[in-house]
Amino acid sequence: MMMNLLYNILSKSSFPKVKSVQNELQKIGLLRWGVGIIIFIRFYEVVNSLYFFNQGLPVVAYATMLLIVLFTLGFALPVVTIGLIIAVRMLDAYASTNTLGTTILIHLFLLMFLSNAGQYYSIDAFIVKKKNKFAKLFNLQYSIIGKHTEKSLTLVYFFIFSLYAIISLAALGYHIQDVYWIEALTIKSLLSNSYLSTGYEGFRWVENTYPNLVSYLSFIGIVGQSLFQFFMLFLVFIKWGNFFVKWWGMKFFVISLFVINLSYLPHLEIILWLIIFFPIRISSENKVKIIYDDYCNLCKKAMLFFKKYNFNNRYEFIALSKNRELYEKHNLTEKEVKTYMVGWYKGKLYKGYNLYFRLMLVNPLFYILVPIFIIGYLTGLGKLIYNYIAERRYKVFGQCEISFYDEIQRNDIAHFSNFKPKFLSRFLLVYMFFLISFFLLRFPYVGDKVSPRIPGIVQSYLKKTIYKVGLEVPVVFNDVDLSMGDNWMVLYKKNEQGEWDLIPISGEDGHRMSYNGSDIMHFTNHNSDFLYFGTTLRYRRTILKVEDYKAFHEEGFGRESFEKRVKYDYVKTAMKGNVSYKIMVYSNTSSKVSHWEATPERHERELKYEAVYSYNGKEFHKQK
C-alpha cells in the first residue's frame, strides 16, 4: 500500500523513472566496479598507513579489504555489502579517518543491496546461470528482494536520493548559522584557501585582478547551493526543478573533484548521481542498427561481445538471414553485407571499419579506444586491417551450421524469483524510524531541544546506530573549515649532507602535498586519509583557539600531531638511529575576506614556532 502510494506520486512527478530494469542493472554493475576500485585504493591507503604507523593491523582492516575485493568482483554481493556497511565504519573509527565520504559510500552500499546489483558483471551472475545446486544457494540471497520491476527500482532510487537530500538539508541548517555563509563569503574564502583548494594560486590572482567578479561568483554559488540543499527533495517533482538538481549537483561534484580537497567524497557523489539521475533512455532512433552475418563464427563472437557491454542500450542486432529486404532496399548485396558488416545510425549507412568506429563512439565503455580508431581512420591503416580480416574470416574462423540469432536475442539476466514488495516495505519502515530518530536527535535546532529529554543511554545508542546506517549532519565549509588554511605545520628532515629536506605533507605555503609524489585518484589527502583526517585536519582545527604556540607544540595536541607525522615518516622511509626533524609553524589570516576588494596581504605568513627534535624510533629529544 505504502509503496504503491509513493510510486503513484512519483509517476506524476519529474523524478527520473527506470525504463529498463536490465539496462539499469547493467549500468549499476559497471559502476559497482568503479566504486570498488575507488574504495579499494582509499582504504588500502588507510590500511597501509596504519601498518607502518602501528607495525601491525587489526582484524577489521583485513576483513574490510577482503570484503571490498569480493564486492568489486560481485561475489555473494548482498551478504558482502551488508558486511561492508558495518566494516567501513569500524575501520574509519579505528584509524580516526571518519569522513562524509564514508556516509555517501553507505548510501551506495544500500542502493547496491536493495537493487540486487550483482546480476551483471559479477561472479554471482556467472554462478547463478549455471543452474546447479551451488547456483541455488547463491540465488537464495537474491531471492530476499527478487527480480525488480521498473516501479520498484525507481522507488529504490528515490529512497537513496531522499537520504542524500535529508542530510544536505541538515547541513544547510548549520550553514545558515555561519557568518561566512550568511554574507556569501564562503566561496571567496574557500577557493583562495591553500589547504582546501587545489587552484588557490589561480584564484588568488583572479581575486587580486577582478575582486568584483569573485564576489559575484560567491553570491551566485551560495544562493544556488542553498536552493539546492534546501529544496532538493521537492524540486525533483517538477521539470525545471529536476533539471536544476541534476545539473547543479553534477556541477558541484565535478568542481569538488578537481578544485576542492575532499578525499574520495566527490568520486562517490558523481557515481551516485549517475545511477539516480541518468537512467538509460534510448529510443530506436538513437540506436546503431547492426546487420550481422548470423552464420559467421567471427561475427558471433563480436556480437556477443557488444551485447555483453550494451549497458546503455545503444546497439540493436539484426540477423542477416532474417532481414534480406532491409539491406536490399539500400542497394546492398548479400555478399557485401556478409563480408564487411553494415549498420545504420540516425539514417546514415556505415560499413566495415567505419561501423566499428561508430560503435565505439556511442558507448562510454569504449571511449578509451577512440584515439586508436581515430589514428586508424586518418592513416587508412584501420580500414586496411579490417578489410584484410573480413575478406578471410570464413577461412580463418569458419561458419556456423545454424543461425545464432536466438542466442543474440536471448535475455541473459539471471532468473530470480519475482519482486517481493513486503521486504522493501518493511525495510523502508525500519529506516523511517532511523530518519525520525535522526531528525529528533541530530537535526539543527530540533536536536538541541529534543535530545536532552531522552535518557542518555538511549540517546547514545540511537546516535551511534543512525550514524552507522548513513545518517549524519555534514558540518562543512563553515568558519572552522575555512580557517584551516590559517595555521599550518611544516616538517623537515635532515639528510646525510646536513641539509633540511621538506617532508611532503604540508607545503611551505600550507597546501597539501602528496607524500608518495603522485595522486592518481586526485584524493588530495597526502596519499592517505590517515594523514589527512587523522592528522593535518584535526591539527588545523584544534590550533584555531591556541594562543600559546610553544605550549601547544611541546605539551598539547600539537606535540601529538608532530610526533605522529615523524613516526610515520621514520618507519615509512626505513630510517635507522637518530634522525633530526625540524618543525616550523606558520600563521596568516587567509580566511578573513570581504566583498568588492582584494586583500593579498592576508596570505602573508608569520612564523609562530620553530623547534628541532631528534628521533631514534623510540624517543624524542628536543635539540637546543
Q: What is the DSSP string of 551-579?
A: HHHHTSHHHHHHHHHHHHHHHHTT--S-E
pLDDT band at residue 266 under the 50/70/90 scheme = very high
- 598 in any annotated domain: yes
CB 286 within 8 A of CB 259: no
Domain total for the chain?
A: 2
What pLDDT does residue 569 have? 95
Mean pLDDT score of the chain, rounded to an integer? Answer: 91
Map grid coordinates 539521475 to a residue: 277
* Sequence letter at residue 316: E
Packing angle, helices 265-277 and 239-258, rounded to 10: 150
Q: Which of 605, 598, 601 is nearest to 188 (CA)?
A: 598
Range of weakest confidence among 6-20, 192-206, 560-574, 584-598 = 6-20
* Sequence letter at residue 425: S
Q: Which of 576, 566, 583 is nearest to 616 (CA)?
A: 576
pTM value is 0.93
**pLDDT tens across 370-391, in order?**
999 999 999 999 889 988 888 8
Q: Which three cell numbers stand for residue 229?
A: 540543499
Q: Which is it for the CA torsion 513, 518, 521, 527, positive or negative?
A: negative
**pLDDT tens across 142-169, in order?**
888 888 889 999 999 999 999 999 999 9
Residue 391 and residue 498 share a domain: no
Please give the DSSP secondary-structure letter assigned to residue 350: E
- 475 in any annotated domain: no
pLDDT of 248 above 70: yes
What pLDDT does residue 412 have? 59
Residue 515 and residue 609 share a domain: yes
Q: Pick the last residue of a domain from 366, 393, 409.
A: 409
Q: Does 69 or 1 have the greater pLDDT score?
A: 69
- 106 in any annotated domain: no
pLDDT band at residue 405 under the 50/70/90 scheme = low
pLDDT of 269 above 60: yes
pLDDT of 418 above 70: no
Distances in Å between the Cα of 378 and the Cα atoms of 194, 324, 374, 375, 387 are 45, 33, 6, 5, 16
Q: Which three cell numbers stand for residue 517?
A: 609524489
pLDDT of 402 above 70: no
Task: Summarize the confidence of residues 366-371 as an average pLDDT.
Answer: 92
pLDDT band at residue 483 under the 50/70/90 scheme = very high
- 15 in any annotated domain: no
- 613 in any annotated domain: yes
Q: Which of 364, 388, 360, 396 is nearest to 375 (CA)?
A: 360
Range of weakest confidence among 294-308, 343-357, 414-428, 435-449 = 414-428
Task: Summarize the confidence of residues 72-78 as an average pLDDT.
Answer: 95
Q: What is the DSSP string of 455-524?
A: -HHHHHHHHHHHHHTT------SSHHHHGGGSEEEEEEEE-TTSPEEEPTTB-TTS-B--TTS--TT---
Output the domain CATH number for residue 352.
3.40.30
- Give ∠ CA 297-301-306 in degrees, rounded to 5: 145
pLDDT of 413 above 60: no
Residue 586 and residue 499 share a domain: yes
Count Cβ atoms within 10 A of the Cβ of residue 102 and give its class: 0-12 exposed, 13-18 middle, 19 or more buried: buried
pLDDT of 420 above 90: no
Q: Three-state SS across 82-133? A: HHHHHHHHHHHHHHCCCCHHHHHHHHHHHHHHHCCHHHCCCHHHHHHCCCCH
Q: Pick the last residue of a domain from 409, 441, 460.
A: 409
Distances in Å between the Cα of 334 and the Cα atoms of 323, 393, 525 are 11, 16, 60
- 569 in any annotated domain: yes
Q: Which three cell numbers stand for residue 440?
A: 529528533
- 112 in any annotated domain: no
Domain that holds residue 506: 486-623
Task: Summarize the confidence of residues 167-194 as an average pLDDT.
Answer: 95
pLDDT of 415 above 60: no
- 201 in any annotated domain: no
What pLDDT does residue 389 have? 86
Distances in Å between the Cα of 164 and the Cα atoms of 26, 104, 157 are 23, 8, 11
How far is Cα 222 from Cα 210, in angstroms, rounded to an integer?
19
What pLDDT does residue 347 have? 85
Residue 490 and residue 617 share a domain: yes
Contacts of 441 (CB under 8 A, 6+ apart): 447, 450, 451, 454, 459, 462, 463, 466
- Give ∠ CA 483-38-476 in degrees, rounded to 5: 20
pLDDT band at residue 417 under the 50/70/90 scheme = low
* Tally of helices (H runs) and strands (E runs) in the chain: 30, 9
Question: How large a percentage of the chain has pLDDT more than 70?
Answer: 96
Residue 403 and residue 499 share a domain: no
Q: Pick the last residue of a domain from 360, 390, 409.
A: 409
